[in-house]
Structure 1
Amino acid sequence: MAFPSQHPETVLVVDDDPVTLDCLRETIILLGLEVCVASDGNEALLVFEQQNPSLVITDVRMPNMDGLSLTHQVKARCPDCPVIMVTGYGDEATAVAALKAGASDYLHKPFQISELKNTVQRSLSLIRARSTETQALQSLKKVTWSFEIENNLDSLGGILTTMLRPVDVWLSEGGQLHVRMGLQELLINAVEHGNLGITAEEKRTALMEDTYDALLEARRKLPLYANRRVKVWMENDPAKHVFHCRIQDEGEGFDWEPLLHGHVDSIPALAGSGRGIFLVKTMIPQIQYFGCGNEVMLTVQYGALGDGSSNSPSPQ
């Protein structure tokens, strides 16, 4: 049965065996999808750049460029494009390597047509769900959201992904990276130096003695710090192309003005001594501290989608 779609997705099929390639091509057509083909990895990469397919199905073992190398190249160009790897029966090691290379799924030869259909359907369903989410986020006029974060740095990566989902769609890849790195640095500062009261000297010593994790754990257990939280407020206004993020910890603050306004030569080169703030300021110039320094706000101005701009953070 064909997939319902007003604009059929295109699937790139790659295999050096003409019989397998023709079988895959005919099956994809029966699913109501567009198809383009290539007989090796080098040719596939050229076709990929020309056709911009929604999905790639590739054999592992091919001349010139194998399927694993092709997967790396595809994911480098388009991280969201799913790749289905076709491996030999029983070759589990290759299947694992394919998944590590970025493949979203795999099929063992010989496979049933029903297996191929189900695998393609799973991959395209994820694409459509992601597309629907993107369209929904783009239709919002203004979004505000907030978080309260415990003093656990282990979960920071997942927290940042959740926090930035409503704004990522408006930023270029470079813009996303800068905003993520900037917020990560400020959140780490809020936990370490703010809520847990770890000084720059204590951090340097712990890093040199490889006792940093133990220091964090010990501070988290102290009654003075145990219930402290980092509060985050975020607002994205697509109409004005601006994103604000305000972070507040429950610490005593610090003398932030010399660090924020100082020249790079005056920033010490040691960890925990102001390098993080200077790094954030370099990536996102619009950074403001308030009061004693336990509250900071980032402002990111980005280009409108489709206006030809880079969508990278820039000063207002």
Structure 2
Amino acid sequence: MSEKKNISKTSVKQVLIVDNNEDLLISLKEGMRKYRSRFSVLLANNGEKALEVLKHESVSVVVSDVKMPKMNGLELLLNITNDYPEIPVIIITAYGREELEWMARRSGAVAFISKPFSLSELSNKILTLLKKESDGGVIKSISTGVFMQLAEMEEMTCTIRVHSDADDTVGVVFFRDGKLLDARYGDKIGDDAIFIILALEKTQIRIQNSCPATVEPKIRIGLQAVLLEAMRLKDEADFQEAVEPADNTVEPAPGKTVKENSARRPPAKAAATLPKKKPVQKRKRSAKKILRYIQEKTGKKIGTDQIHSDRDWEHSITLALKIGDLFKAGRLQCGYIHRKNEQPVFFIPGSPSAILNVDRMSPRDRMFNIARQID
């Protein structure tokens, strides 16, 4: 895969046109000036130069001729499909269409246009593809992680582009039937890219209601594991930032020198002091005692077995706690998990959490009300 740099987004989308006919390139660029509020045009006269442009620019659509020196259009198409699967490619050619279209479609092309063609015909194809880039809407109000969980739950097939206003970059994430497949950010792919994208701040999410057929799974762990690892990495980064030593170097007085390592430093005790986070409020009772209390207060046996701990549930409970933190919803006090072909589960988070398999006719709302009253 070719080396790519972190690319910036622009307020106006960019279209790259690739053809070895310089006169045609200039003519197309001039003719498309009337669409400058919708997109701007970048030019390249062969496939190699086109790949160089893609390394440094955020491109939404590529239009490419087939017959070109150094690297023909089909070779360029294969490179784009592999390295930039989110970018749709329009193939233009003067050759017979059936065999070429079959080859190009197998390689990832999404549209075709034959020479001679009109400016309006090509422009309409470009505008159609640009609309698809956000045909599922634009979201600013929720985090990338929360939207990805929604995509999984709703079994969405989509391509999401995450734009960061904080550092003016863009990352791309691919879902098919609710499964997280791949991610791209600069020269990073798969696992390496997804953690960077999840760490982006001040984001805007553009949703495309499709995922290229050529995208293959490159993220080998499930979404929940990805989100937990992203949170761990963020906590680690916050800790490193908190312990980063301040620059207390003392400039020497005129005519004097300061020996190496002799600059004034804060006392050892002060250097080790970390900013304290607000302590998490702990319950006075264990999770098992709380659940036992709820069971007693309902006035009848609600569980079908003993109150117990189960490591298999800890992962899901931990994720629920993290989601609550993302929404700043406060402390998770209890939860009820409905299972289609198995008994429901009522739980109290803790260390360890308390689990109880309950009857489907159990007074769930009353159990919640009792849990809310417990300190």
Length-normalised TM-score, structure 1: 0.47
Higher helix share: 1
- Compare relative contact order (CA 8 Å, sep 6+) and give the higher one, 1 or 2: 1
